[in-house]
A and B are shown apart, each in its own frame.
Chain A
Amino acid sequence: MFEYIVRRLWQTIPTLLGVVLLVFFLFTWVGGDPAYLLAGKISNPEQIENIRRQLGVDQPIHAQLWIFIKQIATGDFGVSWATNEQVSDIFLTRLGPSLTVLVPLLVVDTVLAIAAAMLVAYVRGSVTDRVVMITCTVGQSISILVYIIVFQYLLAYRLGWFPVQGWGNGFAENLLTYSLLPIIVGVIVSLAPDTRLYRTFFLDEINQDYVRTARAKGLSETRVIWVHVMRNASIPIITNVMIQLPGLLVGAFLIERFFSIPGIGREVLLAVERSDFPVIKAVTIYVAIATMITNLLADLLYKAVDPRVQLK
Chain B
Amino acid sequence: MKLGVLRSAAISILVAITLHAASEAADRSKTLHVTFQVAETGFDPTRTSDYYSGQVIEAIFERLLTYDYLARPAKLVPSTAESLPEITDHAKTYTFKVRKGIYFTPDPAFKGKRRELTAEDYAYSIKRFFDPKNRSPYAFLYEGKIVGLDELGAKARKTGRFDYDAAVPGLEVPDRYTLRIHLREPDYGFAHIIAFDLSGAVAREVIEAYGEDTNAHPIGTGPYRLKQYVRSSKIVLEANPDYRGMVWDFQPGGDPADREIVAQMKGKKLPVIGNVEISIVEETQSRWLAFEKGETDMEYQLWDLSPTFMAEDGRLRPRFANRGIKLGRSVDPEITYLYFNMLDKIGDKPNPVGGYGREKIALRRAIAMAYKIDDQIRVIRKGQAIKAEFPIPPGIAGHDPAYKSSIRYDPKTANALLDRFGYKKGPDGYRRLPDGKELVIRFSSTPTEIARQGDELIKRSLDSIGIRLEIHKERFPDLIKLERRCRLMMRGASWIADTPDGDNFMQLLYGPNTFQSNNACYKSAVFDRLYEKSRTMPDGPERNRLYRQMTRQMEADTPWLLIDSRYRNMLMQPYVIGFKKHPVLHQEWMYIDFDSKAKR
> Is the CB of A91 closer than 8 A to any CB of chain B?
no
- Of all chain B residues, the one with the shortest Cβ separation from A149 is B285
Interface flag for A163 (CB, 8 Å): yes
* B47 partner residues in chain A, CB cutoff 8 A: 84
Chain A residues closer than 8 Å to B132, beta-carbon distance: 50, 54
| A164-B286 contact given A41-B140, A83-B231, A260-B279, CB 8 Å threshold | yes
Contacts of A44 in B (CB 8 A): 515-516
Contact with A along B99-137 (1 / 0, CB 8 A): 000000000000000000000000000000000110111
* Partner pick for A83 among B42, B137, B139, B157, CB 8 A cutoff: B42
Instruction: Contact check, B140 vs A267: say whether CB atoms are below 8 A apart.
Output: no
Chain B residue at minimum C-beta to C-beta distance from A259: B286
Report if A37-B476 is in contact (Cβ < 8 Å); known contacts: A42-B140, A152-B286, A160-B293.
yes
A157 touches B292 (CB 8 A): yes
Tell me if B280 counts as interface (CB < 8 A to partner A).
Answer: yes
| Contact of A171 with B by CB under 8 A | no
Among candidates B133, B231, B293, residue contacting A93 with C-beta atoms closer than 8 Å:
B231
A170 sits at the interface (CB 8 A): no
B39 touches A270 (CB 8 A): yes
Instruction: Tell me which residues across on chain B come within 8 A of A266, comparing CB atoms.
Output: 232, 282
Question: CB distance B283 to A258 under 8 Å?
Answer: yes
In the complex, what residues of B have CB within 8 A of residue A184's CB? none
Chain A CB within 8 A of B49 CB: yes
B513-525 vs A, Cβ < 8 Å mask (1 yes, 0 no): 1011100000000
Between A42, A85, A156, A163, the greatest number of chain B beta carbons within 10 A of the residue's beta carbon is seen for A42
Is the pair A32, B475 in contact by a Cβ cutoff of 8 Å?
Answer: yes
B-contact bits for A2-33, CB 8 A (1 contact / 0 none): 00000000000000000000000000000011
> Which residues of A have CB within 8 Å of B39?
270
Partner-binding segment picked from B211-219, B390-398, B534-542, B589-597: B211-219
Contact B140 A43 (CB under 8 A): yes
A89 to B133, CA, bound (A): 22
Contact call A83/B285, Cβ cutoff below 8 A: no
- Whole-angstrom distance between the alpha carbons of A90 and B47 in the complex? 19
Chain A residues, Cβ within 8 Å of B513: 42
Taking CB atoms, residues of chain B closer than 8 Å to A36 are 477, 480-481, 484
> How many A-B pairs fall under 8 Å by CB?
129
- CB pair A262–B232 under 8 Å, yes or no, is yes
User: Could you say which of B42, B212, B477, B516 has the most chain A C-beta atoms within 10 Å of its C-beta?
Assistant: B477
Which of chain A's residues has its CB closest to B516's CB? A42
Chain B residues with Cβ below 8 Å from A169 are 228
CB-based contact B477/A153 at 8 Å: no
User: From B42, which residue of chain A is reached at the shortest CB distance?
Assistant: A83
Judged by a CB distance under 8 angstroms, whether B14 is at the interface is no
Q: A41-B140, A262-B233 are in contact. Are A79 and B49 (CB under 8 A)?
A: no
The smallest beta-carbon distance between B160 and chain A, in angstroms, is: 10
Task: Assess the A167–B233 pair: CB atoms within 8 A.
Answer: yes
Residues on B with beta carbons closer than 8 Å to the beta carbon of A163:
295
Interface of chain A residues 47 through 79 with chain B (CB within 8 A):
47-48, 50-51, 54, 79
Q: Is there contact, CB below 8 Å, between B137 and A40?
A: yes
Of residues B212, B233, B290, which shows the largest number of chain A Cβ atoms within 10 Å of its Cβ?
Answer: B233
- Judged by DSSP, the binding face of B is mixed
B157 touches A50 (CB 8 A): yes
> CB-CB < 8 A to B42: which residues of A?
83-85
A149–B139 alpha-carbon span in the complex (Å):
42
**How many whole Å from B37's CB to the nearest CB in chain A?**
11
Closest to B478 in A: A32
What separation, in Å, do the CA atoms of A41 and B135 have in the docked complex?
13
A267 to B215, CA, bound (A): 17
Asked whether, in the complex, the Cβ of B516 is within 8 Å of the Cβ of A43, the reply is yes
Are B232 and A166 in contact, CB atoms less than 8 angstroms apart? no
Whether A166 pairs with B481 at a CB distance below 8 angstroms is no
A residues less than 8 Å from B216 (CB atoms)? 85
**A160 vs B293: C-alpha distance when bound (angstroms):** 8
B279-311 interface (Cβ within 8 A of A): 279-283, 285-286, 289-290, 292-293, 295
CB pair B212–A84 under 8 Å, yes or no, is: yes
User: With A45-B515, A84-B212 known to touch, is A165 a contact of B157 (CB < 8 Å)?
Assistant: no
Bound together, the chains give a CA A48 to CA B516 distance in angstroms of 11
Using CB atoms, name the residue of chain B closest to A38.
B135
**Smallest beta-carbon distance B337→chain A, Å:** 15
Q: Quick one: CB contact mask for B212-247 with A, threshold 8 Å, 1 for yes?
A: 111110000000000010111110000000000000
**Inter-chain contact A50/B135, CB cutoff 8 Å:** yes
B138 at the interface (CB under 8 A from A): yes
Given contacts A47-B139, A84-B47, A258-B283, contact A164 B515 (CB under 8 A): no
In contact, A32 and B481 (Cβ under 8 angstroms)? yes
* A275 beta carbon closer than 8 Å to chain B: yes
> Which of A48, A156, A259 is within 8 Å of B293, CB to CB?
A156
A258 touches B285 (CB 8 A): yes
Within 8 A of A (CB), among B449-508: 475-478, 480-481, 484, 495, 498
Do B49 and A40 touch (CB < 8 A)?
yes
Query: Taking the complex as formed, is B549 at the interface, i.e. its CB lies under 8 A from any CB of chain A?
Result: no
Of A32, A54, A83, A152, the contact of B215 (CB 8 Å cutoff): A83
User: Which residues of B sit under 8 angstroms from A39, Cβ to Cβ?
Assistant: 135, 137
In whole Å, how far is A29's beta carbon from the nearest beta carbon of chain B?
A: 12
Does A209 have its Cβ within 8 Å of any Cβ on chain B? no
In the bound assembly, the distance between CA atoms of A169 and B212 in angstroms comes to 26
On chain A, the residues within 8 Å of B281 by CB distance are 165, 260
Q: B544 near A: Cβ within 8 Å?
A: no
A228 within 8 Å of B by Cβ? no
Given A37-B477, A84-B42, A153-B289, A262 contacting B516 (CB threshold 8 A): no
Q: How far is the CA of A178 from the CA of B419 in the complex (A)?
A: 64
User: Which B residues are CB-close (under 8 A) to A46?
Assistant: 157
- Interface status of A193 (Cβ within 8 A of chain B): no
Contact with A along B23-39 (1 / 0, CB 8 A): 00000000000000001
B41 is an interface residue with CB less than 8 A from chain A? yes
Q: Whole-angstrom distance from the CB of A147 to the nearest CB of chain B?
A: 13
- Minimum distance in angstroms from B10 CB to a CB of chain A: 42
Interface residues of A in 186-228 (CB under 8 A from B): none
By the criterion CB–CB under 8 Å, are B285 and A38 in contact?
Answer: no
Please name all residues of chain B whose beta carbon is closer than 8 Å to the beta carbon of A167 when the two chains form the complex.
230, 233-234
**Residues in A whose Cβ lies below 8 Å from that of B290:** 164-166
Q: How far is the CA of A134 from the CA of B375 in the complex (A)?
A: 45
From B154, which residue of chain A is reached at the shortest CB distance?
A: A46
- B215–A84 touching, CB < 8 Å: yes
B233 — nearest CB in chain A belongs to which residue? Answer: A262
Contacting A at CB under 8 A, from B1-55, are 39, 41-42, 47, 49
Nearest CB in chain A to that of B48: its residue: A83
Which residues of chain A come closer than 8 Å to B292, judged between CB atoms? 157
A104 interface hit (Cβ, 8 Å): no
Q: With CB as the reference atom, state the residue of chain B lying closest to A266.
A: B232
Rounded to whole Å, the gap between the CB of A227 and the closest CB of chain B is 47
Contact in complex: B477, A34 (CB < 8 Å): yes
Within 8 Å by CB of A157, from B232, B293, B476, B495, lies B293
The one of A160, A165, A275 in contact with B286, judged by C-beta atoms closer than 8 angstroms, is A165
Q: Point out the residues of chain A lying under 8 angstroms from B484, CB to CB.
A: 36, 43, 48
Residues of B within 8 A of A149 (CB): 285
Which residues of B pack against A, CB within 8 Å?
A: 39, 41-42, 47, 49, 132-133, 135-140, 157, 212-216, 228, 230-234, 279-283, 285-286, 289-290, 292-293, 295, 475-478, 480-481, 484, 495, 498, 513, 515-517
Chain A residues within 8 Å of B, Cβ to Cβ: 32-34, 36-48, 50-51, 54, 79, 82-85, 90, 93, 149, 152-153, 156-157, 160, 163-167, 169, 257-260, 262, 266-267, 270, 275
- The 4 A-B pairs with the shortest beta carbon distances in the complex, nearest first, are A40-B137, A262-B233, A42-B140, A37-B477
User: A32-B478, A39-B135 are known contacts; what are 7 more A-B pairs with Cβ within 8 Å?
Assistant: A34-B477, A54-B132, A83-B42, A83-B215, A83-B231, A165-B286, A165-B295
A-B contact pairs, 16 of them (CB 8 A): A32-B478, A34-B477, A39-B135, A40-B136, A41-B138, A43-B140, A47-B139, A51-B135, A82-B41, A83-B231, A85-B231, A93-B230, A163-B295, A165-B281, A167-B233, A270-B39
